[in-house]
Amino acid sequence: MAEDSPDIFATSLETFDTDVLAASAQRPIMVDFWAQWCPPCLVIAPILEQAVNEYAGGVALAKLEVDEGENMKLAGRYAVRGFPTVVLFQNGVERGRFSSAQRLDFILDFLDQHIV
């Protein structure tokens, strides 16, 4: 993960409301619900980062690891049934989602269609 980037960051149950819901009033934020044991999660990670870089500050990526513990509560809150699931938030509400590893062109089209 590009940890030094303000566009790509880790979030958690404790910080989600501020990191994602409140911050999505400034710009859209994709939340990547992922798990370390999930091969498709590892495949899509660099592709999501590339999509964020192509948007040049117009969208951010919050990484939410849901292997176990408290972060699983967020997966339940947003009815995430499989990994990876990417949920797009804007102005504090969900604008769209997709599951499984996808290609860059799919992700860019998804963003174009769902960002208002």
* 38 in catalytic set: yes
Q: Is 41 a catalytic residue?
A: yes
Q: How many CB atoms lie within 10 A of CB 17?
A: 12
Give the span between the Cα atoms of 59 and 30, in whole angstroms.
7
Cα separation of 44 and 47, whole Å? 5
Annotated catalytic residue, options 1, 10, 13, 38: 38
Residue 5's alpha-carbon distances to 9, 52, 57, 79, 94, in angstroms, are 7, 10, 10, 28, 23
- Whether residue 88 contacts residue 108, with contact meaning beta carbons closer than 8 Å, is answered with no
Catalytic residue, chosen from 8, 23, 35, 41, is: 41
Q: Which residues are catalytic?
A: 38, 41
